[in-house]
Each structure stands twice: as C-alpha cells, then as structure tokens.
Structure 1
C-alpha cells in the first residue's frame, strides 16, 4: 500500500436520542478514507486474515446478508474502509463488555467521505472505540503491529468506570423490555424510569419508595433484631457490648458458641462465627470493633446451618441463594495465600468491583480470615501438608440459587422481616439448616436485614441462569399496564412549528394538565416562560422530562436537532409533520434537497407509539407518504376538503381537520365532530388557519374535548411579552 493511505475522522457527533439512523443513541462520524476509496477490502493482500485474527468475533456480525458471517462475506467480496470501521468499532465495544449491534455506513455527496453510525451505551466509550478502531484498521491495512490486548483492556476499564453497573443495567434492561423509558440522571447508578409525573427512580437496588428511616433501622442491627423479635420473627439471642470484657461476659450469658459482628456493619465485614473460647471472643471483638468504625459490637448465639440470602421485593421473596464454607486443600508446596489464588480466586465470578458477585480473597489482608486461621493454629504464610483441608471463610459465599426450593414458611418470615424494618427491597440474611424445610422444624432465624442489597448473586449465581430480579423490581414499581409515560407531542417542519408547539401546549394545559414545552420560543411550564433562549434542543427537552410535576410535554424538533442531537424522548403520543421542505440549516449535515429531508422528518413519525397518532399536512405529498410508516393512527389536515388524501381518509372512516368555508371542521368519516368558525379567533390566528389546524389536530389526537379546543383557541396569548406575532 502507498504511504499516503490514511483515514481522517472529520467530525464526531453523539446523537443522544432517536435520530435519522435508529431509535437508540449512536456515535455518528464523518470519515474521509482518501486513497482507500480506490482500494476495497478484497484488493488489499492479507488484510482479511490480519483483521479477523485481531477480531475473531466479527464472524458474529450478520451485516446486510442477514446471516452469521455476513460481514465476513462482505469483506471477501469487497467493501470500503468506512463500512469496515463501523464494524470494528462495534466489535471493540463488544470485546470490552458493552454489547452493541447496530451500525451503518453511508456515502456523502463528496467522494471518499462517508458517514458512519454505530450504537454505543456511553459517549466516551464510543469515541474511544472510534479512535482505537481507526488505528486498528490502518494497522491491518498496512500490515503493522497493533496491541489489541491493551486496547480492549483500556476500553474495558472505561466501561467499568463509566457505564451503569451490572445490577442497575439489569433493572434498566427489564424496564426496556416493558417499553418503559429511562434517563440516567448522574454519572453513577441513579436512573429515572419513565417521564414527568409518571416517573420512578432507582439507585441500584434502592428506589424512590425506599424509606430513609428504614435504611437507618437496617443499619442498626441491634434495633433491627429488637423490632423483629417483637413481631415474632425468629432471631438469635444476643447483646450489644462495648468492650472485650463485656463481649466475653455476654458470650457466657447466651452460651457458646457465639457470633460477633459490628452493630452497623455490612457485607460480612468484621463478622466472626462459631466462637467458643475467651481468646477467640476477645480477638473477634477487636476485629468487629475496628471494622465497625469503633462502634459497639453485637454478641449473639451461633446458630448452626448455612447462610442464606433471600431477596424481598415488595411483599414477597423473588430470589434466594444459599452459601457454603470455603476451603482450600494443601499440596505441600504453596502457602495459604497462594492456595487461595489457585483454588478460590480462579473462579471468574470473583474479583474487585460490583461486576463480580463474589469478592476476591487475600487471607493475609483479611482480619476475618486471619482470625479463622489462628483458631486452627495457622497463618496465611503457612504451607499446609498435601491433602490437608483448611477453612478459609464461613460467610460471604452466598452463591447458589435455591429460589425454587424455599419453603413458604421461610419465605414468609423473610418477607415479614423486610416489612417490619420498612424496606420495599431488602436482602434478608437467614441461617438455615435447609431452606426447603418448614422454619419451625429447624433452628432457623433471621440474622440481618439489609437495605440496598446486592443483586449479582441472584443474577449470576454459581448454578443456573439466575433469577429475573430486575423484572420483579420493575413490576414492583410499575403496576400492570403502566409504562411510566406521559402524553408527548413532537412537531417537526419549517412552518410556524414553534408557534404550533406553544398553541398545542396551551390546549393541553387548559384541559387540566401541567404541561412542559421546549421550543424555539423558549422553555415553558403551564404557559409561563422560564427560559427565553431557543429551547428546541435535546438538553431542554430532558429538563422537561425529568420534571416530576409535568403531566404532558410538547417539543419542537427542527431537522437540525434531529440530525445533530436526536430527539429528547424515545416515543411520542402525537407526531406532527407540517411539511418536508429543505432548509439551509440542513446543508451542514449534507442534506441538500427535499428527498433527503424526507428521511429526516420521518424520524418524527417513526417514534409515534402504536397507541398514538401522526398528524400530517395533506398538502405536502411527502408528508402524506409518511402515513404508511406510522405504527398508530393518522389525522390529515389541510386547507381544501377535496384534497385527495383528505377525501380518501374520510372515506376510510378516519379523522381529518379541514377548512370548509369560514370554519375549521373536525370530521371522522362522514360525521362532523365540531366546527370552529374563524370569526371566533383573533385576526392573527384566523389569518393562519393551516397553523391552527395543525394544533387543533394534535389536541384532537390527545382526545381533548372539542369544546375545550375552541375555548383554548380563543384564550391563547400568542405574545405574552408583546413579541410580534
């Protein structure tokens, strides 16, 4: 290949909502492949083998053939660098643990320059994948080395740092499966599910129903035990102590063996089990006291059995997992630290961070494990004899799914414990001989109730495929038939769209709803302008959707916003298209005529819900063509009753809004629902009947009574600050 071979990335845009490419956020990049325009993939010696050696997962990309290996077929037949770059970016993200699949590449009006788009779940990861993908592709073309291992490791670190944690992502995926929209509110795991007044919020396994008082109770283990005991939930006998002397005295009172743990600890930190001697109790007290930040320590009766974690959502147990003791077996060569790495930490489910359901262990750095080893006369540096079994950990290994085996009496006790504490989602820790037996037939008891419980042990257990706990949480937050949506109206075109948006918002407001409006004339709440800037933007739209008082929302969506940012919402109730006329602002996006503009404007119709309505201008033939793209109903509006689209629509029994004589008529089939005389409107509105009809049709699509529509037209203030109409 010639030395001047290069791929220049000219422009990169993160489209954060539905866009001209797809319904989901994508990275759009303009790339200049230069001389590579004359060198498709099948003309570059050795390229196919080098690329597939670096990215063997490309075999899973179906591409246009629609079959496994489809993209590889395209590579062998001959395709261009921009198209290849799109797939490389997708595969790098997949290898980094961020599953994506959508991608497209299209030529522009300039030879050698292409637009590519690929799905990403985080802008920074997508941009990094694009930069790395370019370097990888050039290396494969020019037969140069490329460190794929480091590249994937760097991207994986970004995914771990920047993307939703696996538990939160599991819940969000469950919401998506129920067609509930989501908005990430912070760089962390705080997520809004739904829009406006219908929204709910989660923070991993906490919800906006999780009581702060209940969380405080759960963190106070002594108080929790007292409340549970008073309500008939079996708990181990115990005392709260503040010194090692008191701990040993309490141990004698309740009877050894005993358990010691911090009164406000979590995740098993500072917990020591099956303690029998004074030395063991004193050492365990010091550990629990330190791990608990210097606070009191609980001494309680040790109950034989295995630890179990029951996940309670709402009023029922939705998942359960059982634990086991962890052992290593000596080989006469390695010490206990080394054996732990070789026999325990080798488990791929163990590691650091929330991606792993189980923690990696290092005996020499764990006070709990050191104490356990000392009881056996061992140390982390001890080399056990070949075949010698060494107990490493008694708790914290809850990893085996037993959801289908839990006896109803055990589940009832766990659910009651969560209700007593007041948590809507709780991890209830129980010690049981057998979770499948009646509670009264064994010495089972509740030892802890945890707020914000970990979910990974249930999502990724050691056995089986895990439990759908995300779905259970979503079903808890949203009752059957609820999808977290509010009525949303989106308006695109070039004809008075800002004023139409304001008029629609006013009509919705007088119907009794709190309305948010983002348009070129500002940001409005219930007709009150709170921002005078141009707010026909993605960011302003998000401000409306996160407002918990908003019951309905209206958005103006110019073509440049669809192309440069994406829509602020995923789906809408009503989508209005006033026209499909090219505007000079679209040239920046390589859109140069009405035919290309059609692909932009149709985005507004593509996102109409199946239960929604597209409002289309019957005088624009391209707008009329969009009717067949709509998943919901269609209302045509127009200045002439004899318009072919309007006439055919009425003949089919559908709704139209049309100017007849000196009145705006709302008709369904042959039946006239209402007639609004132009004389009842202000001269300014009466002079723009097409604009008024678009707003009337949108309001009618929202099932606002025609009497209120008429009243709204008469009372709408077009210029609250005396801005010229």
Structure 2
C-alpha cells in the first residue's frame, strides 16, 4: 500500500531560514531524483547585502570535515543560493554517514524573485534514503546555516548527536553502501526489496543483492562456508590445503588439543566471520584459556587449530576468476626511534584512515592499548613506554582483519603465482560459490603453494570487497551481474487507466519475442495476462510490473492527480505520453505535476498540440528529450506506441 507520510523538519521560529513545519515523503522518484524524495518548502527572510555564500560553505566544511560544493552560477538569487546550500549539505552529511543518498537535490522559486526587502519562498526536493534521516539532517543544516548567518559556528556536540541518530538508518554494511554508490555511478536503477536486499535493474534485466550475496549464491555453499569444520572437510575431499583443527567443549579440552597439535595454536569460533573471536599465535596455557573464553563469547562451538606461519592474503573470486588479491597485516604501529608505543598508538588513532574505518563500522577505537595489545607487547618484551626502533612493526592485534584495525595492501596480479591463482578458484568451486573471499596463509604469494605449503584458513561466502584498495570492483561486479545496464524500455502515460490497454493494443508484437508488461489502476498484465490482484494505486501497479522478471518492456499509466503524493515508480522513461489532465485539476497542480515528471523523460515526449502552453519555457530545446506534437489523444497514443517499438528495436 502506498503511503505518503509527513516528517517534521522545522528550524527555530526566529530563523532567517524557516523550514515548513512538515515535509512530505514521496515513496517514488520525482523532480529528477533517482530515489525517493522529501518534498517541502522554506521561507528565507531578507538577507544581508553581499551575502558571502562561499564563507558559509567554508564554515560548514570546517565543521563537518567535508568538501564544499562548486560555486553557484552568477546572479543566483540570494534566497535560492541559501536553499541550494541547505540541500547540498543535507545530502553530503547523509552520504558521510553512509546513507545511500545519490544525485542532486532540487530547489526553485515558485514565482518571480521577491523584492530584496521581502521574504522569499523556495520550494525544494531532497533525495533521501529514509525520511527520518533526511528530515533530521535538514533541520541540523538549517540550524547551522542560521548560526553561520549570525556569525557563530555549529556546535560540535550537536553534530555528534546527529551522526549518532543517522547510524540507525544506515544501509546494512559497507558492501551495500558501496554497491549502491557504484549503481549511481553506472546509472543503474535501484529499488529496495526487503531488509537489506536491493534490486539492481528492472524487469528481465534485474538482479538482487544482499551485501555481497548475489541471487546466484547457493544456500548450500553458503551454509558450508559459514561452518569452518564443514568447510575444511569439503576442502580435504578435493585435496586442497585445509587447516588441522578440532572442536573443544571447554578450556581443558582446548588445552589437550593444543598439546596434541603442538604449540603455537589458533583459537577461534567455528561459525563466525570477520575474524571475530580469533586469536592466533598462542604459545601457553594462560593465553589459550583467555582466548577460549573470548571465542566462546561469540559461539558455543570453538576450534583449536594448528598455527601456520605465513602471510595473510584475501583472494576474491567471482565466477571462476580471481578478481584481486590483498595482503593483510594485524593492527599495530611502526617505530620511528623517537616516540614510544603509547604515543604511536595515539597518533594512529588520530589518523584519517582509522577514523574513517571506525565511522564506517559504527565502532569506537579500532586500535587501543587494551588487554590484547598489552599481552602482545609483553610477548615481544615491550611495554607502552618502549620506543621501537625505526621501521620495526609492533603488532597490537592477533588477527589481521581491517575491522580490527589491520592494514591492507593490494597485491599486483603478476605477483600471484599461477598455482595460487588456481587454488583460490578451486576453493570457491569446491563450495560452488559464485562470489567468495578466500583467506590464504602462505609464506610467499609469488611461490606455488605446492612447494611452500599453505592453509586456507577461511572461506567467506559474503566477502567484504574492499573499497580502499580497489573501489572499481563494485562497479565491475554490477556490470557483470546486471545485463544491459539494468534497463528495459519504459513508456509512461499520464492520464486515464485505459491508456495502458490502448497503448498495448496499438503496439505490434515486440521484437525478439519480448514480453510487454502493462500497469495501471486497473491492474497488472504481463504478456496480456493478469498477474496480480487489484492494487491500491497505479503507482503500486507500476512498481509491481517493473519487479516482474518476465517483462522486456513496460507501459505504465498513471493519473495526473496523485503524482504529487506518490512520485513515479521508475527513475527514467524512454517515452512520455501526456494526455489532457482532468478539467477539475487546477492549472497550478498540472504545472507542478509536469515539474515533477519532465526531468525523468529521456527519449521523447508525445503530447497534443493544445498542451504546448503548459510546458516550462525552454523545455525540449536541447538534444533530449524530443517533443512530438499530435492533433489529438488518439494520434498521440499511436505515435507513443511507435516510439516504444523503435526503442525496443534499439
């Protein structure tokens, strides 16, 4: 069921910049945004002469640690300039909090600019991941701009409260955020499905992703990969290098296993990922018991494993191909011969890279002189006051995961021995995983594992792809998973529900045995067959037909009136058919509907000659969209059908 909630986004009552008390959340796309928007208005009081917008941007950039926007075009009215800054910083702060907000916001004057001494109203549409997060950010930026106009800086504690609030609305994990950003870069349509699952593309060209789980990732392989005991069993059956380990019911049993395998050993949960609860290089009973207790906090099943001395590599495999290899080093500090360990840790904590990782993962300090770090220092004969020699690396973490403060570096493809490349591919194939992260311990990645020995210590069916070393991989995966840019030809018709049937009747059979999906308030039809029950609105019907995997092209008929409550079910249409709006609909509402829809028309716009005067001045004068005028509605329907057919042939 389609709903259009309103959200509070009010600034202080005495502000020079006053937001409407309530902004409307549209569930569909609108005003050129590729995602849902928060729609509302603001009133800007008369501003000081010579308002320095660049100075406002500089102040907010300093407060938020974000780059400022590009300069505004000359002669932008002051009220519009301030509104555009409000929207820019609202989007930027949401993106900084890893909320998937992509594309540009829109701001416009509903009428001619007011006199300098009079308040000016500005209308706006803000892309949003969730209405709550967008409204909270909008209100904070309004307050920050108000403070800046009064010569004050934003209060850091208020920004921290906002960031904490935004954490609750983050997309599920770093992978999801990066895939959504890559989709925006590639201009792929994206629609939330349920939970953390998103649909990339429409109709027959769609693909579902849940973080780095693809719709082709097998459930059986995933289940096996999530259990380290079963994973090792599968690898041994294929003659691949699996670790030697055993389950331990308690700390005493763990000690017996360690003595049987021989020190040093590794203790870890049998069914967790991201290195949680893992302790490597254990050499005595005391550290083993502590590690067992830590692992038991994560899982009832704890493994004791023979330690293998080698460098920790993550090898990412997709559909039988090694995409990349990285080498990981446990979190720690490098000596400079001057500063002691405690000073080096404090310096690292202030570094941009660790702060970025902490912010992305919603955690505190990833590197600290905690119990684990102090124990490793003691093993190395050091204390927090020790001054390591220049270049000496002091490990403060037992595991090399980035989530634990570890560092990561890309290995050039030519440095990976062909046998090791084949090993990673074979491991993924053994578990029948289409996308997998293979954690390989090996002394030298450039030497064959058949000569040096190696151990596959873990297989991840939902691997972190990693944006710091190879951000391009997200886009590369989407190109391979989502055919033809995820697009199907779409004809959007504004008018009566019967338009969908009339357009379908006017269309000849689609090329290449394509299947036409039609949606309107009357229902959803695919290939002329009803495939859904009566939905609440034409908007819901449009969403349903675009989600159908059997559809090669779509015709969506939406009424004029509800557009301002729902927006559009898609972010782009190849053909836009405009038919005369109902006589009872005020001209202002018609013009607002056109303002909402026209930025989404990318091919042609077909309309009766009599409607020419409703189009905004200058619209259609560029290369796209093309305007095609016909004498009446019947001729428009025939012309729009021919245009869709041509698009399908293309």
Fold conserved (TM > 0.5)? Answer: yes
Q: CA deviation at 1:703?
A: 3.3
Q: Distance in 2 between matches of 1:534 and 1:285?
A: 56
- Quote the residue 2:279 is aligned against: 272
Q: CA deviation at 1:29?
A: 2.4
Checking the alignment, whether the CA contact within 8 Å between 1:349 and 1:357 is kept in structure 2 is: no
Say which SS state the counterpart of residue 352 (structure 2) adopts: coil
- Quote the residue 1:719 is aligned against: none
Q: CA deviation at 1:175?
A: 2.7
- Quote the residue 2:235 is aligned against: 228
Counterpart mapping for 1:223-302 below 5 A: 223-244=230-251, 246-277=253-284, 281=288, 284-288=291-295, 290-300=296-306, 302=307
Q: CA deviation at 1:305?
A: 1.7
Q: CA deviation at 1:53?
A: 3.6
Q: 2:83 aligns with which of 82, 85, 94?
A: 85
Counterpart mapping for 1:455-470 below 5 A: 455=465, 458-461=466-469, 466-470=470-474
Q: Which runs of 5+ in 1 are unaligned?
A: 66-72, 640-689, 705-725
Instruction: Give the paired residue count.
Output: 605
- Quote the residue 2:437 is aligned against: 427
- Name the CA shift for 1:339/1:268 in 2 (closer, same or farther; >3 Å): farther
Counterpart mapping for 1:391-470 below 5 A: 391-396=395-400, 397-404=406-413, 405-455=415-465, 458-461=466-469, 466-470=470-474
Counterpart mapping for 1:104-143 below 5 A: 104-108=107-111, 112-122=119-129, 123-141=131-149, 143=150
Q: 2:329 aligns with which of 324, 341, 359?
A: 324
Q: Distance in 2 between matches of 1:371 and 1:353?
A: 27
Q: Distance in 2 between matches of 1:602 and 1:269?
A: 51
Structure 1 length-normalised TM:
0.71
- The Cα offsets for residues 176-199 of structure 1, whole Å up to 9 and x where unpaired, read as 33332101234x532111123432
Q: Distance in 2 between matches of 1:138 and 1:343?
A: 35
- Quote the residue 1:345 is aligned against: 349
- Quote the residue 1:503 is aligned against: 502
Q: Which moved more, 1:265-274 or 1:223-232?
A: 265-274
- The Cα offsets for residues 620-665 of structure 1, whole Å up to 9 and x where unpaired, read as 54599977667477776546xxxxxxxxxxxxxxxxxxxxxxxxxx
- The Cα offsets for residues 222-249 of structure 1, whole Å up to 9 and x where unpaired, read as 2211211222322333444445555455
Q: CA deviation at 1:84?
A: 0.7
- Name the CA shift for 1:341/1:248 in 2 (closer, same or farther; >3 Å): same
The answer to whether residue 40 in structure 2 is matched with residue 29 in structure 1 is: yes
- Quote the residue 1:491 is aligned against: 493
Q: Distance in 2 between matches of 1:434 and 1:443?
A: 10
Checking the alignment, whether the CA contact within 8 Å between 1:195 and 1:486 is kept in structure 2 is: yes
Q: Distance in 2 between matches of 1:180 and 1:524?
A: 25
The answer to whether residue 642 in structure 2 is matched with residue 703 in structure 1 is: no
- The Cα offsets for residues 470-515 of structure 1, whole Å up to 9 and x where unpaired, read as 0232133135xx222334221025xxx3211233346679877765
Checking the alignment, whether the CA contact within 8 Å between 1:522 and 1:532 is kept in structure 2 is: yes
- Quote the residue 1:176 is aligned against: 184
Q: 2:479 aligns with which of 463, 475, 482?
A: 475
Checking the alignment, whether the CA contact within 8 Å between 1:139 and 1:146 is kept in structure 2 is: yes
Checking the alignment, whether the CA contact within 8 Å between 1:606 and 1:631 is kept in structure 2 is: no
Q: Which runs of 5+ in 2 are unaligned?
A: 1-12, 97-101, 401-405
Checking the alignment, whether the CA contact within 8 Å between 1:508 and 1:515 is kept in structure 2 is: no
The answer to whether residue 224 in structure 2 is matched with residue 217 in structure 1 is: yes
- The Cα offsets for residues 55-99 of structure 1, whole Å up to 9 and x where unpaired, read as 56786332224xxxxxxx86xxxx433531331331244245447
Checking the alignment, whether the CA contact within 8 Å between 1:191 and 1:202 is kept in structure 2 is: yes
Q: CA deviation at 1:116?
A: 3.0
- Name the CA shift for 1:603/1:697 in 2 (closer, same or farther; >3 Å): farther
Say which SS state the counterpart of residue 60 (structure 1) adopts: coil
Q: Which moved more, 1:120-129 or 1:303-312?
A: 120-129
Checking the alignment, whether the CA contact within 8 Å between 2:22 and 2:40 is kept in structure 1 is: yes
Q: Distance in 2 between matches of 1:508 and 1:101?
A: 35
- The structure showing larger relative contact order (alpha-carbon pairs under 8 Å, at least 6 residues apart) is 2
- Quote the residue 1:644 is aligned against: none
Q: 1:607 aligns with which of 600, 611, 614?
A: 600
Q: Which moved more, 1:175-184 or 1:239-248?
A: 239-248
- Name the CA shift for 1:357/1:635 in 2 (closer, same or farther; >3 Å): farther
Q: Which moved more, 1:437-446 or 1:236-245?
A: 236-245
Structure 2 length-normalised TM:
0.78
Checking the alignment, whether the CA contact within 8 Å between 1:560 and 1:586 is kept in structure 2 is: no
Checking the alignment, whether the CA contact within 8 Å between 1:307 and 1:431 is kept in structure 2 is: yes
Say which SS state the counterpart of residue 183 (structure 2) adopts: helix
Bigger Cα Rg: 1
- Quote the residue 2:4 is aligned against: none
Q: 1:196 aligns with which of 200, 203, 207?
A: 203
- Name the CA shift for 1:630/1:576 in 2 (closer, same or farther; >3 Å): farther
- The Cα offsets for residues 378-405 of structure 1, whole Å up to 9 and x where unpaired, read as 8xxx654444986422322251222433
Q: CA deviation at 1:459?
A: 0.8
- Name the CA shift for 1:615/1:489 in 2 (closer, same or farther; >3 Å): same
Checking the alignment, whether the CA contact within 8 Å between 2:339 and 2:387 is kept in structure 1 is: no
Say which SS state the counterpart of residue 416 (structure 1) adopts: helix
Q: Distance in 2 between matches of 1:529 and 1:280?
A: 62
- Name the CA shift for 1:191/1:403 in 2 (closer, same or farther; >3 Å): farther
Q: Distance in 2 between matches of 1:371 and 1:518?
A: 65
- Quote the residue 1:315 is aligned against: 320
Say which SS state the counterpart of residue 226 (structure 1) adopts: helix
Q: CA deviation at 1:448?
A: 0.9
- Name the CA shift for 1:22/1:171 in 2 (closer, same or farther; >3 Å): closer
The answer to whether residue 561 in structure 2 is matched with residue 568 in structure 1 is: no
Q: Which moved more, 1:415-424 or 1:624-633?
A: 624-633
- Quote the residue 1:542 is aligned against: 543
- Quote the residue 1:69 is aligned against: none
- Name the CA shift for 1:58/1:14 in 2 (closer, same or farther; >3 Å): farther
Q: Distance in 2 between matches of 1:475 and 1:124?
A: 32
- The Cα offsets for residues 275-316 of structure 1, whole Å up to 9 and x where unpaired, read as 44455555544544x14522142423x221211111222222
Q: Distance in 1 between matches of 2:140 and 2:534?
A: 41
Q: 1:9 aligns with which of 12, 20, 24?
A: 20
Checking the alignment, whether the CA contact within 8 Å between 1:321 and 1:399 is kept in structure 2 is: yes
- Quote the residue 1:42 is aligned against: 49
Q: Which moved more, 1:169-178 or 1:106-115?
A: 106-115
Q: Distance in 1 between matches of 2:17 and 2:360?
A: 40
